[in-house]
Amino acid sequence: MLFPMKKSKMVSTAVVLSLAILFCFSASAMAFESAAGNDITLVPDDGSEVRIMLLGEKSTAKYKKGKYIDISLSRQTMTLYQDGKSAGSYLISSGKRSMATPKGTFKVYNKARRAWSEEYGLYMPYWMAFTPSGSHGIHELPEWPNGYKEGASHLGTPVSHGCVRLGVGAAKRVYEWAPIGTPVVIH
């Protein structure tokens, strides 16, 4: 179900988020579209998704040609850009204060559908390393060996050990969209 918004009407981010949270727990996911802002995917604990547009939060593409991933640590969002246009935005969870996600311009160095972390004893589905050492990456919510997905309720809050977490579904889309070598800009 779509809720069109006219350019002349501005709705606050708090109102849009409040509506989205209400709809997150309904039987079906709903999408909001507007004339301004970037779309954001919210993923509640049940794994369903709600895509909304945040008005007044529009970012500008830094590259006009090709693909790149833009990560805003202050907004806890990831926006995919292709040829200067948004190809989708997602809510993330970046590193907590004591284990911050590094800022700068990186690229996707390697990918693995289901990477294993020896250090933390869990899987990181749809892994894409963005540091040369492979110490930091973009991945789906961590998965324990028993299948439990950690942190769906943490999306939008910096709680990771420095990686950039995406929700179920969103991580697969980003993984399939971004080839090795895709620039990653984190600010």
Express each pLDDT in 31-59 by its tens digit.
333 333 445 555 554 454 555 544 345 56
Provide the annotated active-site residues.
Answer: 139, 163
Is-contact 39 173, C-beta < 8 A?
no
The per-residue pLDDT for 49 is: 54
Overall domain count for the chain: 2
Q: Is residue 112 exposed (0-12), middle (13-18) or buried (19+ Cβ within 10 Å)?
A: middle
CA distances 85 to 22, 38, 81, 91, 99, Å, are 29, 10, 5, 18, 31
Dihedral of the alpha carbons of 24, 29, 31, 37, in degrees to the nearest 10: 40
Which has more confidence, 47 or 104?
A: 104
Are 47 and 128 in the same domain?
Answer: no
The per-residue pLDDT for 5 is: 39
Which has more confidence, 171 or 25?
A: 171
Are 15 and 95 in the same domain?
Answer: no
Q: Which of 133, 152, 143 is nearest to 113 (CA)?
A: 143
The per-residue pLDDT for 16 is: 43
Please give the helix or strand (H or E) that residue 20 lies within, else none.
helix 13-24
Are 4 and 39 in the same domain?
Answer: yes
Are 141 and 163 in the same domain?
Answer: yes
Domain, as residue range, for 3: 1-58
pLDDT digits (tens, 9 = 90+) for 131-170: 999 999 999 999 999 999 998 899 999 999 999 999 999 9
Are 139 and 170 in the same domain?
Answer: yes
Q: Is the pLDDT of residue 178 over 90?
A: yes
What is the value of pTM for the model shown?
Answer: 0.72
Are 166 and 78 in the same domain?
Answer: yes
Task: Read off the pLDDT of each residue in 99-123 and give the average, rounded to a whole number.
Answer: 97
Q: Is the pLDDT of residue 184 over 70?
A: yes
Are 29 and 83 in the same domain?
Answer: no
Are 52 and 64 in the same domain?
Answer: no
Are 13 and 50 in the same domain?
Answer: yes
Task: Read off the pLDDT of each residue in 122-138 and give the average, rounded to a whole number.
Answer: 97
Are 54 and 64 in the same domain?
Answer: no
The per-residue pLDDT for 59 is: 66
The per-residue pLDDT for 61 is: 85
Are 177 and 148 in the same domain?
Answer: yes
Is-contact 100 146, C-beta < 8 A?
no
Q: 85: left (phi > 0), else alpha (psi -120 to 50), else beta?
A: beta
